[in-house]
Structure 1
C-alpha cells in the first residue's frame, strides 16, 4: 500500500488569506441614509406592562414631591398659622398629614389603573385602525 500525502491547505496551517487589493474605505461623509419602517401592530400586553411601570414610577415621584412640599410647609409654620387664625374665628381644624398622604396615594393608584386602561384601549384602537389603513409609516434618517 502506498500512502499519499496531501498538501496542507491554508486553513489547516493557520495561515490567513491575504488579498492583493487594499480594503475599501467609506470616504463619503455627511451622507444621509434613509430607511422606512411601518408600525403595523402594537402589542397590548406590552403596552399594559410599560404603562403600569411608567405610571407607578410617576406616582412615586409625585408622592416624593408632595412629601418634600409638606415638609417645607410644616417647617415654615404655615399649618400652625392657619390653625391659630381659624381658632381666633372660633373654628377648629385638625390637619392629619398621614391621612392626606394616604388619600393622595390611593388617588394616585386609581390614576395608575385608569391611565393604564386608557393606554391599552388606545393600543387596541390603533391595531384596528392600522388594519384598515396599513399602519404608521416612519422615515428614519441617520448621518454616516
Structure 2
C-alpha cells in the first residue's frame, strides 16, 4: 500500500446512499424512473398522455398510411389550386378578348366614313341579250330569299289541368249558346203561328160533331218546359265535356310517352 503525498488533494468519497435507497419503496423508485424517462422524452419532442404513461411509437404501417393521406390531401389541394388558377386565367382571357373586340368595333365605327348620297348618274337602257342571265339569277336569288322557313316540332305532352280549365269554360259557353238558340227558335216558331196551326190541325182531326178537342201543344212544348230541359242538357254537357277532355289529355300523354307524340310542321308566313 502506497502512501499518499501530503500535497495531493484529498479524494472525495461518494456518499453512501445504499441505506437511503434501500429505505425508498419500490413503487416510488419506479415512479421516479418513469418521471425521469417522461421528462427526457418531453425534452426530445416526444409527447406523453396525461396519466403519465409512455405512448409506444406507432407501427410503420400506420405511419406510412398517415403520410400517404397527407400526400393525397396535399395533391388534392394542389390540383384544386391549379384548377382555380386555370379558371381565373380563362375568365381573364375571355374578358380580354371581349374588351379587344369592343375596342375594335369602336375603332371601326369611328374610322368608317359617313355615307354620302352618290351623284345622279344616268343609267343606260339595259340590253335584253346582256341582262337575260343576270335577271334570271336575280329572280332565283329573290325567290330563295323569300322561301319560308319551316320548323318540325313534336307535341310530346298536354297539361291535363289546363285542358280541364279550357274545356270547362268552352262547355259553359256552349251551354249558354244552346239555351239562347233554343229560346230564339221557340220564339220564332211561336211568332210564325206554328203552335196555333198544330193545335188547329189536331183539333180538326180529333174533334167530332158533338165533342170538341182540347189539345194544346204548348202544354207539352211550352217555353218553360223547353228551356228547363235545355238547361238540364247544357249542365250535363258541361260535366261530360270537361271530363272527356281531361281524360283525353291523360290518354294522349300516355300514348305520347310510348310513341313520341304528334309531329307538327310550322312555316313562316310569306307576307
Which among 85, 89, 92 is matched to residue 215 of structure 2?
92
Distance 2:163 2:152 in 1: 23
Q: Which runs of 5+ in 2 are unaligned?
A: 1-105, 115-141, 207-212
DSSP 3-state at the match of 1:37: strand
1:39–1:137 Cα contact (<8 Å) kept: yes
Cα displacement string for residues 72-127 of structure 1 (whole angstroms, at most 9, x for unaligned residues): 11111111121233234136232421111111111111012112211111110000
Distance 2:263 2:240 in 1: 29
The two structures have a TM-score, normalised by structure 2, of 0.42
Q: Which runs of 5+ in 1 are unaligned?
A: 1-16
Distance 2:240 2:186 in 1: 26
Match of residue 61 from structure 1: 177
Distance 1:65 1:52 in 2: 20
Q: Supply the RMSD in Å over aligned alpha carbons.
A: 2.4
Which among 130, 133, 138 is matched to residue 259 of structure 2?
133
Match of residue 142 from structure 1: 268
DSSP 3-state at the match of 1:32: coil
Distance 1:132 1:75 in 2: 58
What count of residue pairs does the alignment treat as equivalent? Answer: 124
Match of residue 111 from structure 1: 237
1:48–1:120 Cα contact (<8 Å) kept: yes
**Structure richer in helix, relative to its length:** 2
Distance 1:91 1:112 in 2: 39
**Structure richer in strand, relative to its length:** 1
DSSP 3-state at the match of 2:266: strand
Deviation at 1:21, TM superposition (A): 9.0
Matching of residues 1-144 of structure 1 within 5 Å: 19=109, 20=112, 29-88=145-204, 89=206, 90=213, 92-93=215-216, 94=219, 95-143=221-269
Match of residue 12 from structure 1: none
